Amino acid sequence: MKEVTKYLRKKVLVLGLAKSGVTAASLLHKLGAFVTVNDKKPIAENPEAQELVEQGIKVICGDHPIELLDEGFELIVKNPGIPYTIPLVEGALEKGIPVITEVELAYQISEAPFIGITGTNGKTTTTTIIFDMLNAGNKNPLIAGNIGTVASGVAEKARKENVIVIELSSFQLMGIEEFRPHIAVLTNLYDAHLDYHGTKAEYAKAKGAIGKSQTEDDYFVYNADQPDVFELAKQSKAVLVPFSTQKAVEGGAYIEDGYMCFKGEKVIALSDVVLPGKHNQENILAAIAVSKLSGVPNEAIHKILTTFTGVRHRLQFVAEIGKRVFYNDSKATNILSAAAALNSFEKPTILLAGGLDRGNEFDELKPALKNVKALITFGQTAPKLERVAKEAGITAIKRVDNVEAAVPAAFELSEEGDCILLSPACASWDQYKTFEVRGDMFMEAVHRLK
């Protein structure tokens, strides 16, 4: 960890706990700051807050009182999930108090350079593949952010010989000032999180911030098939490195003559890549670009891409039973993600879908249902999905209580050679605490079939 003195005797408010808040508060305390933590959860129900009290950190729980702004804080470190529209944050910004996220703190203390990955879809898969490739290439990577451990906790332990591979959300990127990844990656850009950002323009601005502090010594890897992404990439001073699944691109990664290539060099045959899906080809090309820029040899890249079958809950291969293949895509919490999963398979598919009703219809899913021979529904959105399936010409439709019941129901409707795919197109919160829990329940039910 770098020797940082800028927080010595500085009054800092850590707003919101969870893992990132706890880590940030503890770190700032070590750096000599006068730390106050404010979390909405009452202290009696808040073990994280109680732990900080034991460290001698001041904790205020139960609400976000506007009166905190009268205490003369010089900085606020905000949990990414807390919106900027709450009175406390709005008031701080009006007073000119900087509001950062914990990622900025991580950058300030880190001895290691960063590779930052953001985008609407594919962040976790791309981050994981990059980490695995760098690891196979002996580049001493550490993984952080939404996919791994808290960024500032990783940065505290990192050394110069390491590189931190970090998945970044738009929420986190809104709170950066100096954060400068040596390599930035923008996988794609679609409408998302508009309830938080208000407009797609504001969402795009947050994503584009990943490159705002880069210099000519850095790289910005971007999806050349999306004009909106290219416009954001051009705002960075870094060397632009495109990737494309649709055309050969100069100075970047692309597909040509059945190979994934980088700057004219054939890196791996498409037929050797085991991870399915056109959308995953984008993720892989981005990872190849980063790995080649980092000096990873083709042998290490090949080793990963011939064995990597997916991140847990993201189009993850689960098992083959009775000549049927099972895939867990519980992370598909929206229509776009579910459509991408469905388009990854040409074989007849039994789709398991449903979950929290956020008020949207599912007509956009119709084109992706072309290979779906049967639909098993569950959760609040079951009637809406069933309507769309009928309109798409699917006649085998069955509603069940939950994911666990959906697995044997799907197996009964399937035949040898079919794919049984959990890709819910909905959040899990009507029945399950997280999409991870939902995916675990699916996999347990699959293994029970054995």
pLDDT over 80 at 148, yes or no? no
Task: Give tens-digit pLDDT for 4-38.
Answer: 999 999 999 999 988 899 999 999 999 999 999 99
Is 124 annotated as a binding-site member?
yes
* Pick from 272-286, 381-395, 401-415: least confident: 272-286
What's the helix, strand, coil split of the chain in %, to 5? 40, 20, 40
Which pLDDT value is given to residue 312? Answer: 86
328 membership: H or E segment, kind and range: strand 324-328
Count Cβ atoms below 10 Å from residue 264 Cβ, excluding itself.
10
Closest CA to 78 of 180, 196, 157, 183: 196
In this prediction, residues 151-155 reach a mean pLDDT of 96
Q: Give 277's pLDDT tier (boundaries 50, 70, 90).
A: confident
Is 122 annotated as a binding-site member?
yes
Instruction: Map tokens 């995916």 to a residue.
Output: 439
| Burial of 94 per CB tally in 10 Å (0-12, 13-18, 19+) | exposed
pLDDT over 80 at 321, yes or no? yes
d(CA 145, CA 117): 10
Which pLDDT value is given to residue 241? Answer: 98
User: What percentage of residues in the chain have a pLDDT greater than 90?
Assistant: 86
d(CA 10, CA 229): 38
Is 125 annotated as a binding-site member?
yes
Which pLDDT value is given to residue 429? Answer: 93
Task: Give tens-digit pLDDT for 84-123.
Answer: 999 999 999 999 999 999 999 999 999 999 999 999 888 9
pLDDT over 90 at 147, yes or no? no
Backbone φ/ψ region at 278: left (φ over 0), alpha (ψ -120 to 50), beta: alpha
pLDDT over 70 at 193, yes or no? no
CA 24 to chain centroid, in Å, comes to 21
d(CA 144, CA 179): 14
Q: Give 414's pLDDT tier (boundaries 50, 70, 90).
A: very high
User: What residues does 319 pair with on adjacent strands?
Assistant: 326
Q: How many CA atoms lie less than 13 Å away from 42 in the CB half-sphere?
A: 2
* Pick from 38-42, 73-77, 294-298: least confident: 38-42
Which pLDDT value is given to residue 318? Answer: 93
Q: Give 201's pLDDT tier (boundaries 50, 70, 90).
A: confident
As a whole number, the mean pLDDT across the chain is 94
Which pLDDT value is given to residue 134? Answer: 98
Q: Give 276's pLDDT tier (boundaries 50, 70, 90).
A: confident
Is 101 annotated as a binding-site member?
no
In this prediction, residues 202-225 reach a mean pLDDT of 96
User: Coil, strand, or helix at residue 320?
Assistant: strand
pLDDT over 90 at 194, yes or no? no
Phi–psi pair at 192, nearest 5 degrees: -165, 155
Closest CA to 150 of 131, 128, 166: 166
Q: Give 196's pLDDT tier (boundaries 50, 70, 90).
A: low
Domains (ranges, CATH) in the chain?
A: 11-100 (3.40.50.720), 103-305 (3.40.1190.10), 316-449 (3.90.190.20)
* Pick from 29-33, 307-311, 342-346: least confident: 307-311
pLDDT over 80 at 191, yes or no? no
Is 121 annotated as a binding-site member?
yes
* Pick from 78-87, 210-219, 297-306: least confident: 78-87
Which pLDDT value is given to residue 192? Answer: 58
Q: What six digits make up the tokens of 166?
A: 């970090």
Angle CA 269–274–276, to nearest 5: 105
